[in-house]
């Protein structure tokens, strides 16, 4: 049974009921012996769809409708009621149509039970199942990445070593002697070339392409070192030839020098003048190595010094000093020789008699002035300067 609410007075012949759970509008109308419209009209603000009512709602049955403000609505004419009823039916029909469309959309989107599920793409490899650790593929990829990084680092080292060879080769190419080029060959062989060979050994575990790159760098380096080595050998042969020529000349001059004392005065004078001219015009071969040239210059200086002494020793001979006025008239050569011998003895004496020594130097200087032959005069002056330099 419907519950009749107590409280606010209702219009005549009207009652309130509370909708119970499970009740419908048609069921309530049948139970109370009224039409559905008799329920919908006074409750049109609550009932939007005759098929939908809610438990707990309070509905007014019969009599006049009650306004939301609590005041009584004016009596509606039959024409107005008919219009409202027609609008309610149109609205109800529209709601039913909307619900029907929604149901059909849901049916349309419902999975077809007779349709087989889509199979995965056969051409796409299935992803490996996830495991706690890396998969075999991931391990392989990681190993490949590490290998590529190692190859990249190794090739960077190879490039750096190859670049370090450039200044060494350039310096060797500009070398003027076999020693300079030999130093460059040694530096290249023990430095960049050796380093490249060590990197080649490291590359044995890497891919063949990397090994080929390193092999090409080594071949290039070896070819450039070989060019330097060939240049060194050519220069060395030229240097050896020049050294042999120098030794031959110096040996001949030394032999002549040693034979002067055994010669006759005229032959000796000729030999002395020939050697003096040869020494003055002596030229060293440009192909000589610096060490060979330095040794030759020292040997030549020794020969020149010995020849100067020989000239002084034989300066009293008329073949050397053209003026022959006899010893008793004070020819300069015997005087110079005598004072030279005395001065050398005073230099070695302890204690040194410096006054006597300087007196001998004075006599020697006066004797030098009296020499007329330019060769003999130059030799005597050179010996005098040498003796004076020994006295500090």
Work out the percent of the chain whose per-residue pLDDT is above 70. Answer: 73
Whether residue 280 is found in the same domain as residue 346: yes
Kindly report the pTM of this predicted structure: 0.53
When divided into structural domains, the chain yields a total of 3
Q: Percent of the chain, pLDDT > 90?
A: 28
Of the candidate ranges 13-17, 268-272, 336-340, 375-379, the one whose mean pLDDT is the lowest: 13-17
Is residue 257 situated within a structural domain? Answer: yes
Q: Are residues 265 and 147 in the same domain?
A: no
Instruction: Identify the residue with better confidence: 281 or 337.
Output: 281
What pLDDT shows up at residue 33? Answer: 84
Residues 209 and 176 reside in one and the same domain: yes
Is it the case that residue 95 has pLDDT exceeding 50? yes
CB atoms near residue 332 (< 10 Å)? 23
- For residue 54, the number of C-alpha atoms closer than 13 Å in the C-beta half-sphere is 5
**Do residues 219 and 280 both lie within one domain?**
no
How many residues does this entry show for the chain? Answer: 392
Q: What pLDDT is attached to residue 329?
A: 34
**Do the Cβ atoms of 269 and 276 come closer than 8 Å?**
no
Among 278, 271, 268, which Cα is nearest to 300's? Answer: 278
- The answer to whether residue 338 sits within a structural domain is yes
Tell me which residue range forms the domain holding 94: 15-104
CA Rg, the chain, in Å?
A: 67
More confident residue, 162 or 1: 162
Name the residue with higher pLDDT: 285 or 10. 285
**292 part of a folded domain:** yes
Q: How many alpha carbons lie under 13 Å from residue 140 in its C-beta half-sphere?
A: 3
The whole-number pLDDT of residue 277 equals 93
Which residues are CB-contacts of 329 (< 8 A; sequence separation ≥ 6)? none
**Residue 296, pLDDT above cutoff 90:** yes
On whether both 163 and 283 belong to a single domain, the answer is no
- Specify the pairing of strand 58-61 against strand 15-18: antiparallel
- Six token digits for residue 328: 């008793």
Same domain, 265 and 383: yes
pLDDT of the residue at 139: 86
Average pLDDT over residues 131-135: 73
* Residue 226 in domain: yes
- 41: CATH: 3.10.350.10
Domain membership flag for residue 93: yes
One domain for residues 152 and 210: yes
Q: Does residue 110 fall inside a structural domain?
A: no
Looking at the fold, whether 69 and 159 belong to one and the same domain comes out as no
In the listed set 212, 237, 262, which residue is the last one of a domain according to the structure? 237
Structural domain includes residue 351:
yes
Residues 199 and 67 in one domain: no
- Domain assignment present for 202: yes
Kindly give, in sequence order, each residue whose CB lies less than 8 Å from that of residue 275, ignoring residues fewer than 6 positions away. 253, 256, 257, 303, 307
Q: What is residue 67's predicted lDDT score, i.e. its pLDDT?
A: 36
Give residue 51's pLDDT band: very low, low, confident or very high (50, 70, 90). confident
Residue with more model confidence, 71 or 200 = 200
Across 33-37, 130-134, 346-350, the highest mean pLDDT is recorded for 346-350
Question: Confidence class of residue 110 from pLDDT cuts 50, 70 and 90?
Answer: low
Shared-domain flag, residues 249 and 381: yes
Give the relative orientation of helices 178-188 and 208-259 as an angle to the nearest 10 degrees. 150
Does the pLDDT of residue 93 top 60, yes or no? no
216 and 289, same structural domain? no
Q: Are residues 306 and 270 in the same domain?
A: yes
Per-residue pLDDT, 243: 95
Show which of 237, 271, 291 is a domain's final residue.
237
| pLDDT over 50 (residue 29) | yes
Query: What is the tens place of the pLDDT at every residue in 248-272?
Result: 999 999 999 999 989 988 888 889 9
């Amino acid at each position: 049974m419907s519950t009749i609410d107590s409280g606010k007075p209702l219009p005549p012949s009207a009652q309130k009921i509370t909708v119970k759970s499970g009740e419908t509008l048609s069921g309530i109308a049948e139970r109370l012996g009224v039409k559905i419209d008799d329920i919908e009209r006074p409750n049109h603000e609550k009932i939007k769809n005759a098929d939908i009512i809610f438990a707990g709602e309070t509905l007014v049955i019969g009599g006049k409708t009650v306004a939301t403000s609590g005041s009584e609505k004016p009596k509606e004419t039959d024409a107005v009621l008919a219009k409202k009823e027609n609008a309610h039916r149109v609205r109800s029909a529209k709601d039913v149509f909307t619900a029907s469309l929604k149901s059909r959309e849901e049916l349309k989107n419902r999975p077809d039970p007779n349709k087989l599920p889509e199979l995965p793409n056969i051409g796409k490899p299935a992803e490996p199942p996830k495991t706690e650790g890396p998969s075999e593929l991931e391990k392989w990829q990681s190993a490949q990445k590490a290998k590529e990084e190692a190859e990249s680092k190794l090739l960077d080292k190879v490039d750096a070593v190859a670049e370090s060879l450039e200044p060494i080769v350039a310096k060797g190419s500009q070398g003027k002697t076999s020693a300079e080029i030999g130093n460059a060959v040694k530096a290249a062989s023990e430095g960049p070339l050796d380093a490249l060979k060590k990197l080649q050994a490291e590359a044995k575990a890497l891919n063949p392409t990397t090994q080929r790159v390193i092999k090409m760098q080594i071949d290039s380096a070896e070819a450039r070192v070989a060019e330097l080595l060939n240049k060194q050998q050519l220069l060395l042969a030229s240097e050896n030839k020049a050294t042999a020529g120098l030794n031959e000349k110096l040996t001949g001059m030394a032999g002549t020098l040693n034979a002067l004392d055994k010669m006759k005065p005229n032959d000796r004078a000729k030999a002395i003048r020939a050697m003096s001219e040869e020494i003055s015009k002596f030229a060293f071969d440009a192909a000589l190595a610096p060490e060979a040239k330095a040794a030759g210059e020292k040997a030549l200086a020794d020969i020149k010094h010995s020849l100067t002494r020989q000239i002084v020793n034989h300066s009293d001979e008329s073949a050397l000093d053209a003026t022959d006025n006899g010893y008793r008239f004070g020819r300069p050569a015997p005087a110079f020789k005598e004072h030279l011998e005395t001065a050398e003895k005073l230099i070695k004496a302890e204690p040194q008699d410096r006054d006597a020594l300087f007196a001998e130097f004075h006599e020697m200087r006066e004797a030098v002035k009296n020499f007329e032959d330019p060769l003999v005069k130059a030799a005597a002056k050179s010996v005098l300067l040498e003796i004076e330099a020994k006295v500090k």
